[in-house]
Structure 1
Protein backbone atom coordinates (compact mmCIF):
# COMPACT_ATOMS: atom_id res chain seq x y z
CA UNK A 1 0.00 0.00 0.00
CA UNK A 2 1.39 3.38 -0.98
CA UNK A 3 2.38 5.64 1.96
CA UNK A 4 0.25 8.74 2.49
CA UNK A 5 2.79 10.49 4.73
CA UNK A 6 3.69 13.94 3.45
CA UNK A 7 7.50 14.07 3.24
CA UNK A 8 7.77 17.32 1.31
CA UNK A 9 10.44 19.81 2.52
CA UNK A 10 7.75 22.42 3.21
CA UNK A 11 5.76 20.07 5.44
CA UNK A 12 8.88 18.96 7.33
CA UNK A 13 9.91 22.59 7.79
CA UNK A 14 6.48 23.47 9.19
CA UNK A 15 6.61 20.61 11.71
CA UNK A 16 10.13 21.45 12.83
CA UNK A 17 9.18 25.11 13.18
CA UNK A 18 6.08 24.14 15.18
CA UNK A 19 8.21 22.26 17.72
CA UNK A 20 10.99 24.89 17.57
CA UNK A 21 13.61 22.39 16.41
CA UNK A 22 15.74 25.09 14.85
CA UNK A 23 19.01 23.20 14.48
CA UNK A 24 17.42 20.02 13.12
CA UNK A 25 15.65 22.17 10.53
CA UNK A 26 18.99 23.60 9.44
CA UNK A 27 20.90 20.32 9.39
CA UNK A 28 18.54 17.43 8.65
CA UNK A 29 19.12 17.38 4.86
CA UNK A 30 22.89 17.12 5.27
CA UNK A 31 22.40 14.48 7.98
CA UNK A 32 20.19 12.44 5.62
CA UNK A 33 22.90 12.59 2.95
CA UNK A 34 25.53 11.57 5.54
CA UNK A 35 23.38 8.66 6.75
CA UNK A 36 22.87 7.34 3.22
CA UNK A 37 26.54 7.69 2.32
CA UNK A 38 27.74 5.97 5.49
CA UNK A 39 24.93 3.42 5.81
CA UNK A 40 23.88 4.77 9.23
CA UNK A 41 20.92 3.09 10.92
CA UNK A 42 17.72 4.82 11.98
CA UNK A 43 18.57 5.01 15.68
CA UNK A 44 22.00 6.50 15.13
CA UNK A 45 20.51 8.96 12.63
CA UNK A 46 17.91 10.02 15.21
CA UNK A 47 20.53 10.39 17.95
CA UNK A 48 22.72 12.53 15.68
CA UNK A 49 19.81 14.86 15.00
CA UNK A 50 18.88 15.11 18.68
CA UNK A 51 22.49 15.83 19.67
CA UNK A 52 22.66 18.60 17.06
CA UNK A 53 19.51 20.17 18.52
CA UNK A 54 20.72 19.78 22.11
CA UNK A 55 24.05 21.46 21.33
CA UNK A 56 22.31 24.29 19.50
CA UNK A 57 19.97 24.90 22.43
CA UNK A 58 22.90 24.88 24.85
CA UNK A 59 24.75 27.50 22.79
CA UNK A 60 21.65 29.70 22.55
CA UNK A 61 21.11 29.44 26.31
CA UNK A 62 24.72 30.48 26.93
CA UNK A 63 24.27 33.51 24.66
CA UNK A 64 21.02 34.35 26.45
CA UNK A 65 22.65 34.01 29.90
CA UNK A 66 25.63 36.17 28.93
CA UNK A 67 23.39 38.87 27.47
CA UNK A 68 21.17 38.87 30.58
CA UNK A 69 24.24 39.12 32.87
CA UNK A 70 25.13 42.58 31.48
CA UNK A 71 28.88 42.14 31.71
CA UNK A 72 31.16 45.09 30.97
CA UNK A 73 32.96 43.12 28.29
CA UNK A 74 33.74 39.40 28.14
CA UNK A 75 36.77 38.22 30.12
CA UNK A 76 38.41 34.83 30.72
CA UNK A 77 40.99 33.65 33.25
CA UNK A 78 43.11 32.39 30.36
CA UNK A 79 43.38 36.03 29.31
CA UNK A 80 44.51 37.19 32.75
CA UNK A 81 48.18 38.00 33.36
CA UNK A 82 48.87 36.28 36.68
CA UNK A 83 52.51 37.40 36.54
CA UNK A 84 51.68 41.11 36.80
CA UNK A 85 50.23 41.53 40.34
CA UNK A 86 52.77 41.69 43.13
CA UNK A 87 50.81 39.14 45.15
CA UNK A 88 48.04 36.85 43.92
CA UNK A 89 47.10 33.26 44.75
CA UNK A 90 46.65 31.80 41.26
CA UNK A 91 45.92 28.26 42.46
CA UNK A 92 43.11 29.50 44.70
CA UNK A 93 41.56 31.42 41.82
CA UNK A 94 41.98 28.45 39.47
CA UNK A 95 40.14 26.31 42.04
CA UNK A 96 37.16 28.66 41.66
CA UNK A 97 36.97 27.66 37.98
CA UNK A 98 35.31 24.41 39.10
CA UNK A 99 32.35 26.61 40.17
CA UNK A 100 31.85 24.41 43.23
CA UNK A 101 31.42 27.64 45.20
CA UNK A 102 28.15 28.19 43.30
CA UNK A 103 26.91 24.69 43.99
CA UNK A 104 27.77 25.23 47.68
CA UNK A 105 26.12 28.70 47.78
CA UNK A 106 29.45 30.27 48.80
CA UNK A 107 30.71 33.82 48.22
CA UNK A 108 33.89 35.24 46.71
CA UNK A 109 35.39 38.55 47.85
CA UNK A 110 38.23 39.99 45.78
CA UNK A 111 40.18 42.67 47.68
CA UNK A 112 42.91 44.89 46.31
CA UNK A 113 43.84 48.34 44.99
CA UNK A 114 42.45 49.63 41.68
CA UNK A 115 43.77 48.05 38.49
CA UNK A 116 45.04 44.70 39.80
CA UNK A 117 42.41 42.63 37.97
CA UNK A 118 39.60 42.13 40.49
CA UNK A 119 36.85 42.93 37.99
CA UNK A 120 38.53 40.80 35.32
CA UNK A 121 38.50 37.79 37.63
CA UNK A 122 34.92 38.42 38.75
CA UNK A 123 33.67 38.72 35.18
CA UNK A 124 35.66 35.64 34.10
CA UNK A 125 33.97 33.53 36.80
CA UNK A 126 30.61 34.99 35.81
CA UNK A 127 31.08 34.18 32.12
CA UNK A 128 32.12 30.64 33.01
CA UNK A 129 29.01 30.31 35.20
CA UNK A 130 26.84 31.45 32.27
CA UNK A 131 28.40 28.77 30.08
CA UNK A 132 27.49 26.17 32.72
CA UNK A 133 23.86 27.29 32.70
CA UNK A 134 23.75 29.48 35.81
CA UNK A 135 21.84 32.76 35.91
CA UNK A 136 24.27 35.62 36.53
CA UNK A 137 24.01 39.39 37.02
CA UNK A 138 26.92 41.82 36.91
CA UNK A 139 26.51 45.33 38.34
CA UNK A 140 28.58 48.04 39.93
CA UNK A 141 27.81 48.66 43.59
CA UNK A 142 26.70 52.25 42.91
CA UNK A 143 24.35 51.22 40.10
CA UNK A 144 22.96 48.33 42.16
CA UNK A 145 22.26 50.38 45.29
CA UNK A 146 20.72 53.22 43.26
CA UNK A 147 18.42 50.75 41.50
CA UNK A 148 17.35 49.17 44.79
CA UNK A 149 16.72 52.56 46.38
CA UNK A 150 14.66 53.66 43.37
CA UNK A 151 12.57 50.48 43.73
CA UNK A 152 12.13 51.27 47.42
CA UNK A 153 10.92 54.79 46.63
CA UNK A 154 8.55 53.44 43.94
CA UNK A 155 7.12 50.78 46.26
CA UNK A 156 8.40 47.95 44.02
CA UNK A 157 11.24 46.69 46.24
CA UNK A 158 9.58 43.32 46.90
CA UNK A 159 9.33 42.54 43.19
CA UNK A 160 12.95 43.63 42.71
CA UNK A 161 14.04 41.34 45.55
CA UNK A 162 12.05 38.50 43.97
CA UNK A 163 13.86 38.97 40.63
CA UNK A 164 17.27 39.07 42.33
CA UNK A 165 16.54 35.84 44.23
CA UNK A 166 16.38 34.06 40.86
CA UNK A 167 19.98 35.12 40.17
CA UNK A 168 22.35 32.32 41.14
CA UNK A 169 25.53 34.41 40.91
CA UNK A 170 25.32 38.11 41.77
CA UNK A 171 28.51 40.04 40.97
CA UNK A 172 28.82 43.41 42.72
CA UNK A 173 31.79 45.38 41.39
CA UNK A 174 33.62 48.28 43.05
CA UNK A 175 32.06 48.17 46.50
CA UNK A 176 33.67 50.92 48.54
CA UNK A 177 33.67 53.89 46.15
CA UNK A 178 30.90 55.58 48.15
CA UNK A 179 29.40 55.47 51.64
CA UNK A 180 25.81 54.30 52.11
CA UNK A 181 23.30 56.14 54.26
CA UNK A 182 21.19 54.14 56.70
CA UNK A 183 18.29 53.55 54.27
CA UNK A 184 20.52 52.22 51.47
CA UNK A 185 22.54 50.24 53.99
CA UNK A 186 19.35 48.61 55.28
CA UNK A 187 18.31 47.62 51.76
CA UNK A 188 21.76 46.21 51.01
CA UNK A 189 21.69 44.22 54.24
CA UNK A 190 18.39 42.66 53.18
CA UNK A 191 20.04 41.47 49.95
CA UNK A 192 22.92 39.91 51.89
CA UNK A 193 20.52 38.30 54.36
CA UNK A 194 18.28 36.88 51.63
CA UNK A 195 21.22 35.38 49.73
CA UNK A 196 22.85 33.85 52.79
CA UNK A 197 23.26 30.11 52.05
CA UNK A 198 20.82 30.48 49.12
CA UNK A 199 22.91 32.06 46.35
CA UNK A 200 26.48 33.13 45.58
CA UNK A 201 27.90 36.63 45.66
CA UNK A 202 31.10 37.82 44.01
CA UNK A 203 32.20 41.18 45.40
CA UNK A 204 35.19 43.27 44.35
CA UNK A 205 36.44 46.02 46.66
CA UNK A 206 39.51 48.15 47.30
CA UNK A 207 38.60 48.53 50.98
CA UNK A 208 40.12 46.04 53.49
CA UNK A 209 37.47 44.21 55.51
CA UNK A 210 38.60 45.95 58.69
CA UNK A 211 37.73 49.32 57.15
CA UNK A 212 34.24 48.48 55.92
CA UNK A 213 32.78 50.91 58.44
CA UNK A 214 33.86 53.51 55.84
CA UNK A 215 31.36 51.95 53.42
CA UNK A 216 28.56 51.58 55.94
CA UNK A 217 27.31 53.82 58.73
CA UNK A 218 29.14 52.13 61.59
CA UNK A 219 31.33 49.20 62.63
CA UNK A 220 28.20 47.50 63.96
CA UNK A 221 26.51 47.64 60.54
CA UNK A 222 29.71 46.51 58.77
CA UNK A 223 30.08 43.59 61.19
CA UNK A 224 26.47 42.46 60.66
CA UNK A 225 26.97 42.41 56.89
CA UNK A 226 30.42 40.81 57.00
CA UNK A 227 29.18 38.15 59.41
CA UNK A 228 26.94 36.71 56.68
CA UNK A 229 29.26 37.41 53.79
CA UNK A 230 32.38 35.71 55.06
CA UNK A 231 30.78 32.72 56.83
CA UNK A 232 30.94 30.70 53.59
CA UNK A 233 33.43 32.71 51.58
CA UNK A 234 36.61 32.59 49.51
CA UNK A 235 38.73 35.66 50.31
CA UNK A 236 41.18 36.62 47.58
CA UNK A 237 43.70 39.37 48.34
CA UNK A 238 45.60 40.93 45.43
CA UNK A 239 48.35 43.52 45.72
CA UNK A 240 50.42 45.42 43.19
CA UNK A 241 50.37 48.37 40.82
CA UNK A 242 47.56 49.16 38.43
CA UNK A 243 47.66 47.21 35.18
CA UNK A 244 46.04 50.19 33.46
CA UNK A 245 49.18 52.28 33.89
CA UNK A 246 51.56 49.43 33.03
CA UNK A 247 54.47 50.71 31.00
CA UNK A 248 53.74 54.39 31.69
Structure 2
Protein backbone atom coordinates (compact mmCIF):
# COMPACT_ATOMS: atom_id res chain seq x y z
CA UNK A 1 0.00 0.00 0.00
CA UNK A 2 1.48 3.45 -0.91
CA UNK A 3 2.66 5.59 1.99
CA UNK A 4 0.05 8.28 1.24
CA UNK A 5 -2.78 5.75 1.54
CA UNK A 6 -1.24 4.35 4.72
CA UNK A 7 -1.11 7.85 6.17
CA UNK A 8 -4.74 8.45 5.23
CA UNK A 9 -5.83 5.16 6.83
CA UNK A 10 -3.89 5.80 10.03
CA UNK A 11 -5.08 9.41 10.16
CA UNK A 12 -8.71 8.23 10.04
CA UNK A 13 -7.99 5.86 12.91
CA UNK A 14 -6.28 8.65 14.82
CA UNK A 15 -9.28 10.95 14.34
CA UNK A 16 -11.47 8.20 15.78
CA UNK A 17 -9.10 7.93 18.74
CA UNK A 18 -9.10 11.69 19.37
CA UNK A 19 -12.90 11.81 19.14
CA UNK A 20 -13.03 9.10 21.78
CA UNK A 21 -10.67 11.10 23.97
CA UNK A 22 -12.82 14.19 23.54
CA UNK A 23 -16.13 12.48 24.32
CA UNK A 24 -14.61 10.74 27.33
CA UNK A 25 -13.32 14.00 28.78
CA UNK A 26 -9.65 13.19 28.18
CA UNK A 27 -7.12 15.81 27.02
CA UNK A 28 -3.53 15.63 25.85
CA UNK A 29 -2.48 17.19 29.15
CA UNK A 30 -3.80 14.34 31.24
CA UNK A 31 -2.86 11.49 28.90
CA UNK A 32 0.26 11.05 30.95
CA UNK A 33 -1.92 9.57 33.67
CA UNK A 34 -1.52 5.74 33.52
CA UNK A 35 -5.29 5.36 34.06
CA UNK A 36 -5.92 7.25 30.85
CA UNK A 37 -3.38 5.06 29.01
CA UNK A 38 -5.21 1.99 30.22
CA UNK A 39 -8.35 3.42 28.65
CA UNK A 40 -6.59 4.12 25.36
CA UNK A 41 -4.88 0.75 24.99
CA UNK A 42 -7.99 -1.34 24.12
CA UNK A 43 -9.10 1.31 21.63
CA UNK A 44 -5.73 1.27 19.89
CA UNK A 45 -5.88 -2.52 19.85
CA UNK A 46 -9.32 -2.45 18.25
CA UNK A 47 -8.12 0.04 15.62
CA UNK A 48 -4.98 -2.09 15.05
CA UNK A 49 -2.60 0.67 16.12
CA UNK A 50 -0.30 -1.15 18.57
CA UNK A 51 2.84 0.80 17.74
CA UNK A 52 1.00 4.10 18.04
CA UNK A 53 -0.02 3.18 21.58
CA UNK A 54 3.51 2.05 22.48
CA UNK A 55 4.90 5.31 21.14
CA UNK A 56 2.33 7.30 23.11
CA UNK A 57 3.11 5.37 26.28
CA UNK A 58 6.83 6.04 25.81
CA UNK A 59 6.17 9.74 25.28
CA UNK A 60 4.07 9.88 28.43
CA UNK A 61 7.06 8.67 30.43
CA UNK A 62 9.29 11.35 28.93
CA UNK A 63 9.44 14.87 30.40
CA UNK A 64 9.88 16.19 26.84
CA UNK A 65 6.21 15.49 26.12
CA UNK A 66 5.20 18.42 28.32
CA UNK A 67 7.04 20.70 25.90
CA UNK A 68 5.40 19.22 22.78
CA UNK A 69 2.36 20.63 21.04
CA UNK A 70 -0.63 18.43 20.27
CA UNK A 71 0.37 18.26 16.60
CA UNK A 72 3.92 17.26 17.50
CA UNK A 73 2.58 14.39 19.59
CA UNK A 74 0.31 13.32 16.75
CA UNK A 75 3.21 13.48 14.28
CA UNK A 76 5.44 11.43 16.57
CA UNK A 77 3.02 8.57 17.10
CA UNK A 78 1.88 8.57 13.46
CA UNK A 79 5.47 8.32 12.30
CA UNK A 80 6.15 5.42 14.66
CA UNK A 81 3.10 3.51 13.36
CA UNK A 82 4.02 4.08 9.73
CA UNK A 83 7.64 3.01 10.31
CA UNK A 84 6.47 -0.22 11.93
CA UNK A 85 4.07 -0.94 9.07
CA UNK A 86 6.75 -0.20 6.48
CA UNK A 87 9.13 -2.60 8.23
CA UNK A 88 6.52 -5.37 8.32
CA UNK A 89 5.61 -4.77 4.68
CA UNK A 90 9.28 -5.06 3.69
CA UNK A 91 9.60 -8.35 5.58
CA UNK A 92 6.57 -9.71 3.74
CA UNK A 93 7.90 -8.59 0.34
CA UNK A 94 11.29 -10.19 0.97
CA UNK A 95 9.69 -13.41 2.20
CA UNK A 96 7.27 -13.63 -0.73
CA UNK A 97 10.00 -12.85 -3.28
CA UNK A 98 11.97 -16.08 -2.61
CA UNK A 99 15.18 -14.40 -3.74
CA UNK A 100 17.92 -16.97 -4.18
CA UNK A 101 20.64 -14.84 -2.56
CA UNK A 102 18.63 -13.19 0.20
CA UNK A 103 21.66 -11.38 1.57
CA UNK A 104 22.74 -9.95 -1.80
CA UNK A 105 23.03 -6.16 -1.77
CA UNK A 106 24.13 -3.56 -4.30
CA UNK A 107 26.92 -2.52 -1.94
CA UNK A 108 28.35 -6.05 -1.87
CA UNK A 109 28.61 -6.55 -5.64
CA UNK A 110 32.30 -7.16 -6.41
CA UNK A 111 33.42 -4.78 -9.15
CA UNK A 112 37.15 -5.39 -8.56
CA UNK A 113 37.24 -8.65 -10.48
CA UNK A 114 37.12 -8.00 -14.24
CA UNK A 115 33.92 -9.63 -15.47
CA UNK A 116 32.29 -7.05 -17.70
CA UNK A 117 30.32 -5.21 -15.03
CA UNK A 118 29.87 -1.50 -15.66
CA UNK A 119 29.57 -0.09 -12.16
CA UNK A 120 27.68 3.12 -13.08
CA UNK A 121 25.18 1.08 -15.13
CA UNK A 122 24.62 -1.52 -12.40
CA UNK A 123 24.29 1.05 -9.62
CA UNK A 124 21.85 3.07 -11.72
CA UNK A 125 19.74 -0.06 -12.17
CA UNK A 126 19.76 -0.32 -8.38
CA UNK A 127 17.72 2.89 -8.27
CA UNK A 128 14.86 0.90 -9.86
CA UNK A 129 13.76 3.56 -12.35
CA UNK A 130 13.68 0.83 -14.99
CA UNK A 131 11.04 -0.97 -12.92
CA UNK A 132 9.02 2.23 -12.53
CA UNK A 133 9.12 2.59 -16.32
CA UNK A 134 8.12 -1.08 -16.87
CA UNK A 135 11.39 -1.93 -18.62
CA UNK A 136 13.31 -5.20 -18.52
CA UNK A 137 16.86 -6.28 -17.67
CA UNK A 138 18.90 -9.12 -19.19
CA UNK A 139 22.07 -10.49 -17.59
CA UNK A 140 24.06 -13.03 -19.62
CA UNK A 141 27.36 -14.78 -19.00
CA UNK A 142 29.10 -18.05 -18.31
CA UNK A 143 28.17 -20.30 -15.41
CA UNK A 144 29.46 -19.00 -12.08
CA UNK A 145 30.29 -15.45 -13.16
CA UNK A 146 27.79 -14.02 -10.66
CA UNK A 147 24.65 -13.37 -12.71
CA UNK A 148 22.26 -14.70 -10.06
CA UNK A 149 23.94 -12.70 -7.30
CA UNK A 150 23.63 -9.46 -9.27
CA UNK A 151 19.99 -10.33 -10.02
CA UNK A 152 19.45 -11.00 -6.30
CA UNK A 153 20.96 -7.64 -5.37
CA UNK A 154 18.68 -5.85 -7.86
CA UNK A 155 15.67 -7.82 -6.58
CA UNK A 156 16.48 -6.94 -2.97
CA UNK A 157 16.86 -3.28 -3.94
CA UNK A 158 13.44 -3.44 -5.60
CA UNK A 159 11.83 -4.91 -2.47
CA UNK A 160 13.36 -2.20 -0.30
CA UNK A 161 11.96 0.48 -2.60
CA UNK A 162 8.44 -0.87 -2.26
CA UNK A 163 8.17 -3.12 -5.32
CA UNK A 164 6.83 -6.67 -5.22
CA UNK A 165 9.17 -9.33 -6.59
CA UNK A 166 9.00 -13.00 -7.52
CA UNK A 167 12.27 -14.86 -8.12
CA UNK A 168 12.05 -18.20 -9.97
CA UNK A 169 14.28 -20.68 -11.81
CA UNK A 170 12.92 -21.04 -15.33
CA UNK A 171 13.08 -24.88 -15.68
CA UNK A 172 11.18 -25.50 -12.45
CA UNK A 173 8.88 -22.54 -12.94
CA UNK A 174 7.71 -23.63 -16.40
CA UNK A 175 7.15 -27.18 -15.19
CA UNK A 176 5.05 -26.02 -12.24
CA UNK A 177 3.23 -23.47 -14.38
CA UNK A 178 2.31 -26.09 -16.97
CA UNK A 179 0.78 -28.22 -14.22
CA UNK A 180 -1.73 -25.41 -13.57
CA UNK A 181 -3.55 -26.33 -16.81
CA UNK A 182 -4.87 -29.47 -15.12
CA UNK A 183 -6.50 -27.45 -12.33
CA UNK A 184 -9.84 -25.71 -12.62
CA UNK A 185 -8.99 -22.10 -13.53
CA UNK A 186 -5.51 -22.70 -12.16
CA UNK A 187 -3.74 -21.24 -15.19
CA UNK A 188 -5.80 -18.03 -15.20
CA UNK A 189 -5.40 -17.66 -11.44
CA UNK A 190 -1.62 -17.99 -11.65
CA UNK A 191 -1.48 -15.48 -14.51
CA UNK A 192 -3.43 -12.99 -12.39
CA UNK A 193 -1.05 -13.52 -9.47
CA UNK A 194 1.96 -12.88 -11.69
CA UNK A 195 0.33 -9.81 -13.18
CA UNK A 196 0.27 -8.19 -9.72
CA UNK A 197 4.05 -8.62 -9.33
CA UNK A 198 6.16 -5.56 -10.18
CA UNK A 199 9.32 -7.53 -11.00
CA UNK A 200 9.50 -11.12 -12.20
CA UNK A 201 13.02 -12.59 -12.10
CA UNK A 202 13.57 -15.52 -14.50
CA UNK A 203 16.80 -17.16 -13.38
CA UNK A 204 18.64 -19.82 -15.44
CA UNK A 205 16.87 -19.00 -18.70
CA UNK A 206 18.09 -21.38 -21.41
CA UNK A 207 18.67 -24.44 -19.22
CA UNK A 208 16.67 -27.54 -20.14
CA UNK A 209 14.29 -28.16 -23.02
CA UNK A 210 11.24 -26.08 -23.90
CA UNK A 211 8.15 -27.85 -25.29
CA UNK A 212 5.05 -26.46 -27.00
CA UNK A 213 3.20 -25.91 -23.71
CA UNK A 214 6.18 -24.09 -22.22
CA UNK A 215 6.43 -21.80 -25.24
CA UNK A 216 2.74 -20.93 -25.06
CA UNK A 217 2.85 -20.33 -21.31
CA UNK A 218 5.97 -18.18 -21.57
CA UNK A 219 4.43 -16.00 -24.26
CA UNK A 220 1.32 -15.48 -22.12
CA UNK A 221 3.46 -14.52 -19.12
CA UNK A 222 5.64 -12.07 -21.08
CA UNK A 223 2.67 -10.61 -22.97
CA UNK A 224 0.78 -10.03 -19.70
CA UNK A 225 3.69 -8.02 -18.32
CA UNK A 226 4.43 -5.98 -21.43
CA UNK A 227 4.07 -2.32 -20.49
CA UNK A 228 2.72 -3.02 -16.98
CA UNK A 229 5.52 -4.93 -15.24
CA UNK A 230 9.23 -5.73 -15.49
CA UNK A 231 11.17 -8.91 -16.15
CA UNK A 232 14.78 -9.63 -15.16
CA UNK A 233 16.39 -12.57 -16.99
CA UNK A 234 19.67 -14.33 -16.22
CA UNK A 235 21.02 -16.75 -18.82
CA UNK A 236 24.16 -18.67 -19.77
CA UNK A 237 23.05 -18.25 -23.38
CA UNK A 238 23.74 -15.06 -25.32
CA UNK A 239 20.57 -13.35 -26.51
CA UNK A 240 21.31 -14.33 -30.11
CA UNK A 241 20.91 -18.00 -29.09
CA UNK A 242 17.52 -17.58 -27.42
CA UNK A 243 15.52 -18.23 -30.58
CA UNK A 244 17.13 -21.66 -30.85
CA UNK A 245 16.27 -22.33 -27.19
CA UNK A 246 12.61 -21.45 -27.81
CA UNK A 247 12.64 -23.72 -30.92
CA UNK A 248 9.80 -22.03 -32.77
CA UNK A 249 10.38 -19.04 -35.02
CA UNK A 250 6.95 -17.49 -34.51
CA UNK A 251 6.99 -17.83 -30.72
CA UNK A 252 10.62 -16.73 -30.55
CA UNK A 253 9.88 -13.56 -32.51
CA UNK A 254 6.87 -12.73 -30.33
CA UNK A 255 8.60 -13.43 -27.01
CA UNK A 256 11.90 -11.74 -27.81
CA UNK A 257 10.24 -8.66 -29.28
CA UNK A 258 8.40 -8.08 -26.01
CA UNK A 259 11.31 -9.04 -23.76
CA UNK A 260 14.45 -7.68 -25.44
CA UNK A 261 13.49 -4.47 -27.23
CA UNK A 262 13.23 -2.38 -24.02
CA UNK A 263 15.76 -4.29 -21.92
CA UNK A 264 18.90 -3.05 -20.21
CA UNK A 265 21.71 -5.46 -21.08
CA UNK A 266 24.55 -6.69 -18.85
CA UNK A 267 26.95 -9.08 -20.60
CA UNK A 268 29.27 -10.63 -18.03
CA UNK A 269 32.57 -12.30 -18.85
CA UNK A 270 35.34 -14.15 -17.03
CA UNK A 271 35.77 -17.41 -15.19
CA UNK A 272 33.55 -18.79 -12.46
CA UNK A 273 33.61 -16.87 -9.20
CA UNK A 274 33.39 -20.25 -7.48
CA UNK A 275 37.00 -20.91 -8.52
CA UNK A 276 38.18 -18.37 -5.97
CA UNK A 277 38.75 -19.14 -2.29
CA UNK A 278 36.85 -16.06 -1.13
CA UNK A 279 33.76 -17.54 -2.80
CA UNK A 280 34.12 -21.07 -1.51
CA UNK A 281 36.73 -22.80 -3.69
CA UNK A 282 39.12 -25.30 -2.05
CA UNK A 283 42.86 -25.56 -2.75
CA UNK A 284 42.69 -22.83 -5.36
CA UNK A 285 45.07 -19.93 -5.68
CA UNK A 286 43.32 -16.65 -4.92
CA UNK A 287 42.94 -14.32 -7.88
CA UNK A 288 43.64 -10.72 -6.94
- After superposition, the C-alpha distances for 1:37-93 in whole angstroms (9 at most, x for unaligned) are 661111111111111111111111111111111112231011111112432211111
Question: Which residue number corresponds to residue 246 of structure 1?
Answer: 276
Aligned residue runs from structure 1 range 1-248, under 5 A: 4-5=24-25, 7-34=35-62, 36=64, 39-72=67-100, 73-155=102-184, 156-247=186-277, 248=284
How many aligned positions are there? 246
SS in 1 for 2:115: coil
Residues 1:86 and 1:130: Cα distance change in structure 2 (over 3 Å) = closer
SS in 2 for 1:8: helix
- After superposition, the C-alpha distances for 1:91-135 in whole angstroms (9 at most, x for unaligned) are 111111111101110000001111111111111111111111111
- After superposition, the C-alpha distances for 1:21-44 in whole angstroms (9 at most, x for unaligned) are 121122222112335466111111
1:5, distance to aligned residue in structure 2 (A): 4.0
Residues 1:55 and 1:4: Cα distance change in structure 2 (over 3 Å) = closer
2-structure distance, mates of 1:242, 1:51: 46
Residues 1:166 and 1:4: Cα distance change in structure 2 (over 3 Å) = closer
With the length of structure 1 as denominator, give the TM-score of the two structures.
0.93
Aligned-pair Cα RMSD in Å: 1.8
Aligned partners of 2:205 and 2:235 also within 8 Å: yes
With the length of structure 2 as denominator, give the TM-score of the two structures.
0.80
Structure 1 spans left out of the alignment, 5+ residues: none
Q: RCO (CA 8 Å, sep 6+): is it higher in 1 or 2?
A: 1
2-structure distance, mates of 1:194, 1:181: 20
Structure 2 spans left out of the alignment, 5+ residues: 1-22, 27-34, 278-283
1-structure distance, mates of 2:254, 2:24: 72
1-structure distance, mates of 2:63, 2:228: 48
1-structure distance, mates of 2:267, 2:208: 21
SS in 1 for 2:168: strand
